[in-house]
Amino acid sequence: MDAVISELPKFLSGFQMTLILAVTSGVLSLILGIILAAMRVAPFSSLRGFATIYVETVRNTPLTLVFVFFVFVLPTLGIILPLGKVPAIIALTVYTSAFICEAVRSGINSVGIGQAEAARAIGLRTSQTLSLVIIPQAVRTVIPPIINVLIALTKNTSVAAGFTVVELTSTGRRLSLNHPDQVIPILLGVAAFYLLITIPAGLIAGAVERKVVFAR
Amino acid sequence: MTNRVLYDAPGPKTLRTERIVSAIMFVALLAGLALLLKSGADRGIFDDRWRVLYDPPKSQTAVDVWKSLLVHGLGMTLKAALIAAPSAFVLAFIFAIARNSKNRIVSWVSVAIIEFLRGMPVLLMMFFGLLALRLDSFSAVVFGLTLYNAAIMAEILRAGLLALPRGQAEAGTAIGLTTWENLRIIQFPQVITLMLPSLISQFIVLLKDSSLGFIVGYNELLTTMKDNYSFFGDTSRLPLFIAVVSIYLIVSISLSRLAVWVEKKLANRHA
3-state secondary structure chain B: CCHHHHCCCCCHHHHHHHHHHHHHHHHHHHHHHHHHHHHHHHCCCCCHHHHHHHCCCCCCCHHHHHHHHHHHHHHHHHHHHHHHHHHHHHHHHHHHHHHHCCCHHHHHHHHHHHHHHHCCCHHHHHHHHHHHCCCCHHHHHHHHHHHHHHHHHHHHHHHHHHHCCHHHHHHHHHCCCCHHHHHHHHHHHHHHHHHHHHHHHHHHHHHHHHHHHHHHCCCCHHHHHHHHHHHHCHHHHHHHHHHHHHHHHHHHHHHHHHHHHHHHHHHHHHC
Report CA torsion sign: B29, B30, B31, B36: positive
Percent of chain B with pLDDT over 70: 96
Q: Which of A6, A42, A33 is nearest to A152 (CA)?
A: A33
Q: Please answer yes or no on whether A65 and B3 come within 8 Å at the CB atom.
A: no
Q: Is the pLDDT of residue B58 over 70?
A: yes
The domain in which residue A14 lies consists of 2-212
Percent of chain A with pLDDT over 90: 43
Cβ A160 vs Cβ A93: under 8 Å:
no
Q: How confident is the model at residue B271 (pLDDT cuts 50, 70, 90)?
A: low
Q: Is the pLDDT of residue A98 over 70?
A: yes
- Specify the range with the lowest mean pLDDT, choosing from B81-95, B107-121, B232-246: B232-246
Q: What is the pLDDT of residue A41?
A: 79
Residues of A in contact with B23 (CB under 8 A): 46
Q: What is the mean pLDDT of chain B?
A: 86
User: Most confidently modeled of A18-27, A198-207, B36-45, B49-58?
Assistant: A18-27
pLDDT in tens, A122-137: 988 878 888 888 888 8
H or E, element range at A56: helix A45-59
Q: What is the pLDDT of residue B20?
A: 86
Interface of B with A in 13-42 (CB under 8 A): 18, 21-23, 25-26, 29, 40
CATH class of segment(s) B51-270: mainly alpha
Q: How confident is the model at residue A63 (pLDDT cuts 50, 70, 90)?
A: very high
**Best B78, B245, B246 residue to mutate vs chain A (most A CBs within 10 Å):** B245
Taking CA atoms, what residue in B is nearest to A51?
B29
pLDDT in tens, B135-144: 999 999 999 9
Report, as an integer, the average pLDDT of B202-218. 92
Task: Tell me if chain A has a CB within 8 Å of the CB of B245.
Answer: yes
Q: Please answer yes or no on whether B253 and A60 come within 8 Å at the CB atom.
A: yes
Q: How far apart are CA B263 and CA B271, in angstroms?
A: 12
Q: How far apart are CA A149 and CA A107, in angstroms?
A: 13
Q: How confident is the model at residue B1 (pLDDT cuts 50, 70, 90)?
A: very low
Q: Is the pLDDT of residue A212 over 80?
A: no
Cβ B248 vs Cβ A84: under 8 Å:
no
At position B122, the amino acid (one-letter code) is V
Q: How far apart are CA B169 and CA B167, in angstroms?
A: 6
Q: What is the pLDDT of residue A19?
A: 93
Q: Please answer yes or no on whether B248 and A61 come within 8 Å at the CB atom.
A: yes
- Is pLDDT larger for residue A97 or for residue B60? A97
Q: What is the pLDDT of residue B208?
A: 92
A104's CB contacts (< 8 A; 6+ apart) are: A33, A34, A37, A138, A142, A146
Q: Please answer yes or no on whether B124 and A191 come within 8 Å at the CB atom.
A: yes
How far off is chain B from A86, nearest CA to CA, in Å? 19
Taking CA atoms, what residue in A is nearest to B112?
A199
pLDDT in tens, A167-191: 999 999 989 888 888 889 999 999 9
Report, as an integer, the average pLDDT of A140-152. 89
Q: What is the pLDDT of residue B169?
A: 86
A45's CB contacts (< 8 A; 6+ apart) are: B22
Report, as an integer, the average pLDDT of B166-180. 88
Q: How far is CA B214 from the centre of its chain?
A: 16
pLDDT in tens, B3-33: 556 666 778 888 888 888 888 888 888 898 8
Report CA torsion sign: B112, A173, B244, A154: positive
User: ∠ CA(A85), CA(A88), CA(A92), 5° rounding?
Assistant: 140
Q: What is the pLDDT of residue B149?
A: 94
Q: How far apart are CA A135 and CA A201, in angstroms?
A: 23
Interface of B with A in 127-156 (CB under 8 A): 127-128, 131-132
Report, as an integer, the average pLDDT of B235-257. 90
Q: Please give the tally of structural domains in chain A.
A: 1
Q: What is the pLDDT of residue B53?
A: 75
Q: How far is CA B175 from CA B97, B164, B172, B179, in A?
A: 20, 18, 5, 12
Q: Please answer yes or no on whether A194 and B120 come within 8 Å at the CB atom.
A: yes
pTM value > 0.80: yes
Q: Is the pLDDT of residue A21 over 90?
A: yes
> Domain spans of chain B?
8-40, 51-270
Q: How far apart are CA A107 and CA A135, in angstroms?
A: 9
Q: What is the pLDDT of residue B7?
A: 65
Q: How far apart are CA B101 and CA B156, in angstroms?
A: 17
Helix spans in A111-134 (H): 113-121, 126-128
